[in-house]
Amino acid sequence: MNTLIAEHRTAPTTFGIPTSFPTGPRIEIVGHMHDRFDEILTPDALQFLADLHQLFAGRRHDRLADRMRRRFEIGNGRDPKFRDDTASLRADATWRVAGAGPGLEDRRVEITGPTDRKMTINALNSGAKVWLADQEDATSPTWTNVIGGQISLFDAIRRQIDFTSPEGKVYRLTTGETPTIVMRPRGWHLVEKHLTFTDSSGSAMAASGSLVDFGLYFFHNAKALIDAGRGPYFYLAKLESSEEARLWDDVFSFAEEELGIEHGTIRATVLIETLPAAFEMEEILYELRDHCTGLNAGRWDYIFSIIKNYRGRGARFVLPDRSDVTMTVPFMRAYTELLVKTCHKRGAHAIGGMSAFIPNRRDPEVTARAIEKVSADKKREAGDGFDGTWVAHPDLIDTARAEFDAVLGDRPNQIDRQRDDVTVTAAQLLDVHIGRAVTDAGLRDNVSIGVRYLESWLRGIGAAAIDNLMEDAATAEISRSQVWQWIHQDVRTDDGSPITRDRVERILGELLATVDRFDGDRFDDAADVFRDVALRDEFPTFLTVGAYSRFLVDLA
């Protein structure tokens, strides 16, 4: 029996660890308390978080250590491959995932966005089938955003949410049937420094962002969601292995048992947005099979993951301008076709990614171009077999829906389309040759987008419209990692000029001299962060980690 099957537990109870601890593991609040925070950070909720951390924080650290080892191996020439030890699992055609929970049967259009009150109301009024309530890449993790987002979700689920803007505009729910909420907690690599976990031995550490986001949402809302005919549903971000999926599955099983909820009530959709995860799609589905409904093609983080893992492997792995890395280039085509085939083989939804183009209600030409681009993107996805897709703006819902309606008709999905015509090899997943040059315009765009996004993020805005594209942490990661790679691989732009630190510094200076400044802007800080993540010899694994500790932590 292979390792995955041997170690999987369908309904774990104690996970080999006592559920009560003599010295009392605890979560302490070290951030400022604001209005209504006490409704979320209740003693019982904090104890639930403490139990989650006592049981799973150690395994989280083990999985993060695995990531470091894997990156080191790839950087030193060991390409990822499909696992030999799980070949029998992939060959076994009998197993299936749990599939859609109530309210998740039809996912043809999902809207994504942060969880502030205004965006929450707009998403719920949008007419989409699903709202990805994003506590991760679209949310700048300020303390007020993290807990404020939980308050927004708490109120939204109970239909008691409204908001009045500083200008006096009132936002409230205007529709009877709202999208099914699927919440995305932060990835395993992120911490929540406004909460401190002290384990049963007395060791203290920052809390896990994943366990905080999941735990607070589940504790306060699981039963209300079930009573409303939906359920506690989650998107899982940045997974790199089936072992990380197994960790989430055990978290889910413990949480269900702790709150007296039937095993398998939770449903998760995993974003395949890292290169290692692309080689373990079936294993990830298997480990989460009691709780899983599907996979999503997280395209922007996937491109970032390719760059991050192969940044030092020579010119063969250098990608051209970000705008030239489209969904039809070889490695992206292979990845998405494999995802659809894998999902439908196991009875899972395959959800497409987000096109970054967004409309501009003040510019009809920009809007027409965005609709054209998004329509083509969604037509390709629906034709390839995806069961649904993402949009980032309400004005694009009808465009995306039309393309999926044309393929699905009255059917909720096309899982029955098995894609037996698809065969994807490891070499195809790693075929990053595009045949386009890096241009001066592409370099300048990366610097400009990176700095302007970081400026927005430092002010607490995690999803920003920049040059008629929706930028979040994932797209900014592409921009800064490309600059780092181009410098370190001695890339020249198509006019023959080398890309150097000095050249990027000049572009930074020109940007800061010409960008529209305003009271309270964070452009100087943003430029400093960009230098840290794009111009230093060391390559930080995520651009937000250091900036979070330096700028967003607000301790009492």
CA of residue 181 relative to chain centroid, distance: 15
How is residue 444 annotated by DSSP?
Answer: H
User: Is residue 90 annotated as part of the catalytic site, yes or no?
Assistant: no
Residues 545 and 193: their CA atoms lie apart, in Å, by 11
Query: How many C-beta atoms surround the C-beta of residue 538 within 10 A?
Result: 8
Residues 6+ apart with CB under 8 A from 237: 136, 137, 184, 185, 186, 187, 271, 273, 298, 301
Rounded Cα distance, 174 and 121, in Å: 9
Contact between 403 and 396 (Cβ < 8 Å): no
Given a contact cutoff of 8 angstroms between Cβ atoms, the answer to whether 480 and 530 are in contact is yes
> 1 burial class (0-12, 13-18, 19+ CB within 10 angstroms)?
exposed
Is 444 considered catalytic here? Answer: no
β-bridge partners, 163? 171
Cα–Cα nearest to 545, from 273, 30, 302, 188: 188
Q: Which is catalytic among the residues 108, 387, 472, 522? A: 472
Count, residues in the chain? 556
- Catalytic residue, chosen from 184, 299, 480, 522, is 184
Question: With b meaning 16 or more CB within 10 Å and e meaning fewer, what string describes 379-414?
Answer: bbbbebbbbbbbbbbbbbbebbbebbeebbeeebbb
Beta strand segments in 221-363, E:
233-236, 267-272, 292-297, 349-354
Q: Which tokens in the block code for residue 508?
A: 């930074």
The answer to whether 136 and 149 have CB atoms below 8 angstroms apart is no
Catalytic residues: 184, 472
